[in-house]
């Protein structure tokens, strides 16, 4: 990465004054992001060849524990959420980050980005900085990558045209945008989320790549009329005492929202359509609790489906919580529901 020397240094007079930036810990929400500046920052990072794979919060914390205290690169600033000196960034990037409203001053006069940018194949998606402790944090992590691979596998096996895509609980919009990029401009994309912060980030992410998306605030499918050829969802599936929107799935083991998605999606699928659900399941005494609950619903509906365990052990640290007493492990699950080619599904 190029430091501010030569022409960059001569432009320092037009860069924002860091002393006027918000001091941590000022309450801030992703809805405050300036959409145009954030979009242009995303495009600037793409032009610089920026790429970052985002890990779990636990891994992120462990990595930071043995890294230098100050950022040394774009990835340190926009991927690892490390504090940095103003002269680390080219003026253009610093100006865009400031205009986006995503800069804060931290200890020692260092600066920090309130947002991160994560790579998903050819996509670059903005979301909340580490740590994602706020109630309305917009999350991205390893689940997003597994979700994308499940979508990719489903699309590669599809033999029917897909014109209408709905991403339920879209978060950053990763699932819907990933599918839309592969299906082309004719596919119509709707992004739904209950979180205003998530929808704001999703709109920005769609704009970075010129993808047209209808973004709507909705409790799952409640604010969506009509049907779809492809319904995607990666809902929260954990028990979260803090009740963060991106994390708390409700119910005994966090699977209530996943069940709602299945029940609400079945009558919305067009003939030959697909529901692609990436979720988690608590395994208790060797029994998959989510499968035990959802399979009878799918069988009564007469739906053909594929249920697979994508990863046998995720979020193992959650087992320390009282809510998971007796749970052996939490598994990552992929569920693909196929609507019949003619008659609609019955529920």
Tens of pLDDT, residue by residue over 206-223, are: 999 999 999 999 999 999
Q: Is the pLDDT of residue 7 over 50?
A: no
Tell me whether residue 226 is exposed, middle or buried, using C-beta atoms within 10 angstroms of its C-beta: 0 to 12, 13 to 18, 19 or more.
Answer: exposed
Contact 30, 200 (CB under 8 A): yes
Q: Is the pLDDT of residue 163 over 90?
A: yes
The pLDDT, as a whole number, for residue 6 is 33
Residues with Cβ within 8 Å of residue 343, at least 6 apart in sequence: 271
Contact 264, 270 (CB under 8 A): no
The pLDDT, as a whole number, for residue 5 is 33
Higher pLDDT among residues 293 and 27, named by residue? 293
Beta bridge partners, 277, equal 233, 335
Please give the average per-residue pLDDT across 237-247, as a whole number: 90
The pLDDT, as a whole number, for residue 246 is 87
The pLDDT, as a whole number, for residue 132 is 92
pLDDT more than 90, % of the chain: 83
Residue 222, token pair as written in the block? 């409640």
In this structure, the dihedral spanned by the alpha carbons of residues 53, 63, 79 and 113, taken in order and rounded to 10 degrees, is 160
The pLDDT, as a whole number, for residue 31 is 85
> Given the DSSP bridges, would you call strands 327-338 and 269-284 parallel, antiparallel or unpaired?
antiparallel
Closest CA to 220 of 277, 274, 273, 141: 277
- Measure the CA–CA gap between 100 and 115, rounded to whole angstroms: 10
pLDDT band at 17, cuts 50/70/90?
low
Neighbour tally for 299: CB within 10 Å: 10
Mean pLDDT score across all residues of the chain? 91
pLDDT band at 129, cuts 50/70/90?
very high
Q: Is the pLDDT of residue 12 over 50?
A: no
pLDDT band at 340, cuts 50/70/90?
confident
pTM of the full predicted structure? 0.90
Q: What single-letter DSSP state applies at residue 58?
A: H
| Residue bearing tokens 């209408």 | 164
């Amino acid at each position: 990465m190029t430091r501010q020397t030569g022409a960059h240094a001569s432009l320092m007079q037009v860069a924002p004054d860091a002393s006027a930036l918000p001091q941590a810990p000022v309450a801030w929400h992703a809805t405050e992001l300036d959409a145009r500046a954030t979009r242009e920052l995303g495009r600037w990072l793409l032009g610089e060849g920026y790429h970052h794979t985002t890990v779990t919060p636990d891994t992120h914390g462990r990595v930071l524990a043995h890294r230098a205290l100050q950022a040394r690169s774009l990835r340190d600033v926009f991927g690892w959420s490390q504090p940095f000196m103003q002269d680390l960034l080219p003026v253009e990037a610093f100006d865009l980050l400031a205009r986006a409203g995503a800069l804060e001053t931290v200890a020692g006069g260092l600066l920090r980005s309130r947002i991160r940018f994560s790579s998903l194949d050819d996509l670059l998606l903005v979301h909340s900085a580490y740590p994602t402790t706020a109630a309305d944090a917009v999350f991205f992590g390893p689940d997003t990558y597994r979700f994308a691979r499940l979508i990719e596998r489903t699309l590669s096996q599809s033999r029917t045209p897909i014109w209408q895509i709905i991403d339920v609980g879209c978060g950053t919009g990763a699932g819907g945008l990933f599918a839309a990029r592969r299906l082309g401009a004719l596919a119509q994309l709707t992004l739904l989320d209950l979180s205003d912060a998530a929808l704001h980030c999703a709109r920005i992410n769609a704009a970075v790549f010129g993808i047209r998306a209808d973004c709507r605030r909705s409790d799952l499918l409640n604010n969506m009329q009509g049907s779809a050829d492809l319904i995607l969802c990666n809902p929260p599936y954990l028990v979260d005492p803090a009740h963060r929107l991106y994390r708390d799935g409700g119910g005994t083991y966090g699977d209530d929202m996943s069940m709602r998605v299945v029940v609400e999606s079945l009558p919305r699928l067009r003939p030959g359509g697909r529901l692609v659900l990436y979720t988690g399941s608590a395994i208790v005494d060797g029994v998959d609790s989510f499968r035990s609950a959802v399979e009878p619903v799918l069988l009564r509906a007469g739906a053909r489906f594929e249920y697979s365990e994508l990863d046998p052990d995720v979020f193992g640290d959650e087992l320390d919580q009282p809510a998971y007493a007796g749970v052996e492990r939490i598994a990552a699950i992929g569920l693909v529901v196929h609507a019949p080619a003619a008659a609609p599904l019955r529920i």
